Amino acid sequence: MEMAITTERTKIPTLKIVLWIGLASIVMLFAGLTSAYLVREAEGNWIQFVLPKAFYVSTALIILSSVTIQMAISAIKKNKLQAVKTYLIITLALGIGFVFAQFFGWSSLVDQKVYFVGNPSGSFVYALTGLHLAHLIGGILALTITSGKSILEKYSANNYLGISLCSMYWHFLDGLWIYLFVFLALNH
């Protein structure tokens, strides 16, 4: 059984506070990178290219995955353990689909002769999407562990902090990708 250690004053689980701090640091990282993108773009020597269609597909996949993980949260609150397992596994599959879509997107960029090394516009696109993907792989790892615990019925309506934390991180990754996607769509 998972024990939720809470802070004495707030009764908020300590792990949730740690996650919030981690998310804040990720926000700062991407805010800095997107700011640097805009500053560097203003200096000139910036190539234009078409945003890969695979990035649109990956956007749809990650939005759907946020829906399914939220359905898992709703199901665990009602102690519907089979539904939780199903929704978590679907979320995991959609996350893996996102990874493949990103690789297809990078392949499309290469077909357009947009490379990581060369013009800074390409370097920034690869860096932004690659860093997001690195964080998403961490989310896939968390989803894999959470799905495994769900299959072993380690969660219940009274004990689902692991699913809750995983869901928070996954929703954050979804929001971050939407921000990056819109940013790149407007600034490529």
Specify the CATH number for the domain of residue 65: 1.20.120.80
In a structure prediction context, what are the per-residue pLDDT tens digits for the chain, which is 188 residues long?
A: 445 665 556 677 888 888 999 999 999 999 999 999 999 988 878 888 889 999 999 999 999 999 999 999 999 999 999 999 999 999 999 999 999 999 999 999 999 988 888 888 889 999 999 999 999 999 999 999 999 999 999 999 999 999 999 999 999 999 999 999 999 999 87
Query: What pLDDT score was predicted for residue 155?
Result: 94
- pLDDT at position 163 is 96
- Evaluate whether residue 9 is within a structural domain: no
Contact between 105 and 54 (Cβ < 8 Å): yes
**Structure confidence at residue 1 (pLDDT):** 45
- Whether 7 is covered by a domain: the verdict is no
Residue 32: inside a domain, yes or no? yes
Q: What is residue 9's predicted lDDT score, i.e. its pLDDT?
A: 63
Q: Which domain holds residue 160?
A: 14-187
Q: Give the helix/strand (H/E) hosting 169.
A: helix 161-187
- Sorted by sequence, the CB contacts under 8 Å of residue 27 that are 6+ apart come out as 176
Which residues make Cβ contacts (< 8 Å) with residue 177, sequence separation at least 6? 58, 59, 62, 98, 132, 136
What per-residue confidence (pLDDT) applies to 29? 95
- Per the CB < 8 A criterion, the answer to whether 146 and 162 are in contact is yes
Q: Give CA–CA dist 92/143, Å, rounded.
A: 6
- Does 174 fall in a domain? yes
| 66/88 Cα distance (integer angstroms) | 10
What global pTM score does this model have?
A: 0.89
Q: What is the pLDDT of residue 88?
A: 98
The answer to whether residue 8 is domain-embedded is no
Q: How many structural domains are present in the chain?
A: 1
Residue 100 belongs to some domain of the structure: yes
2 assigned to some structural domain: no
In a domain, 5, yes or no: no
Q: How far apart are CA 52 and CA 70, in angstroms?
A: 28
